Amino acid sequence: MKQALLLLALTGLMSAADNRPADEKAVRASVAQFNELAHKGDGAALDKLLSADLMYSHSNAKVESKAECIAAIVKSKPNFVMDPGLDVKIYGNTAVVHSKMVANNITNGTPTKVALDVIQVWVKTGGSWQMVARHTTRLPV
């Protein structure tokens, strides 16, 4: 019985998020860099920050590849304003980020603000973090 409880406790610890402050800080910096590059419309820098396998899902259910995502961002130069309560969980070489944010866009020449709930997945590759997935959900107003 004691062995079963010990095994259960160890399994729970293995599935919990890692406490790695340096990686958490680096992921937070990567999220901020993504937001800054998006606002600048810097496609070349975004190309390095986003994984080749990127799945970028919008709140309207549109899913973009890396190339489609970069093209749309360069065209629209959105200003993503994240809530300060950004939550980052590290699991080995993978990070899951959750936050609320406001996407400030220009749609057909008209400024728009959309409140969103966002989940991002980042993977550490070659010492740097790359976004591999992003999904947003519109928040009720």
* pLDDT tens per residue, range 64-86: 999 999 999 999 999 999 998 89
Domain for residue 9, yes or no?
Answer: no
Domain for residue 4, yes or no?
Answer: no
Question: DSSP E strands: which ranges in 7-92?
Answer: 50-57, 63-64, 79-82, 87-91
Structure tokens at 95: 């990070």
Assign 16 a pLDDT band (cuts: 50, 70, 90).
low
Structure tokens at 141: 């107003």
Q: pTM for the whole thing?
A: 0.84
Q: How many CB atoms lie within 10 A of CB 96?
A: 16
Rounded Cα gap, residues 131 and 138, in angstroms = 20
CATH number of the domain bearing residue 57: 3.10.450.50
Domain for residue 1, yes or no?
Answer: no
Structure tokens at 101: 């944010």
Residues paired with residue 122 on neighbouring β-strands, in sequence order? 95, 131
* Domain that includes residue 64, residue range: 15-138
Mean pLDDT of the chain: 89
